[in-house]
Amino acid sequence: MNHYDPLDWLHQWDDFEMMMYALHEGTPGIFMQVSRRTLRAGAEEWEVLYDRKIADLGDERDDNAETPGTDAWQEQVLRHHLNQHPDLVSDEKAYLEQFLAGEADADSP
């Protein structure tokens, strides 16, 4: 098992950043947060555009031998989801385009 590193789950391009993470309490699931970078008077600011649930915990929960909430659990859940959805990054970029055009709801999967 790889050691969990939050930077492994970040993807930056142009002035955007997406971060995938998993929660096991509250509203359990896999989430995607997308932010946009702006420069103001030489300072870099990141604005969260949306933070949405992209999947329920399904097979990831059943196949996971790690303790929920630990770094190892997060790594295993996210790795499993990414392996099952190899087009995740391009799909999220397409969703972001729809969101920016006002055609997508940030709360919908």
Q: Where exactly are the structural domains of the chain?
A: 6-100
Cα 39 to Cα 22: distance, rounded to the nearest angstrom: 30
CB 49, CB 34: distance < 8 Å? yes
Q: What is the pLDDT of residue 24?
A: 87
pLDDT (tens digit per residue) in 14-61: 999 999 999 988 889 999 999 999 988 889 999 999 999 999 987 555
DSSP code per residue over 79-105? HHHHHH-TTHHHHHHHHHHHHHTT-S-
CB 12, CB 35: distance < 8 Å? no
* pTM for the whole structure: 0.82
Q: What is the pLDDT of residue 85?
A: 93
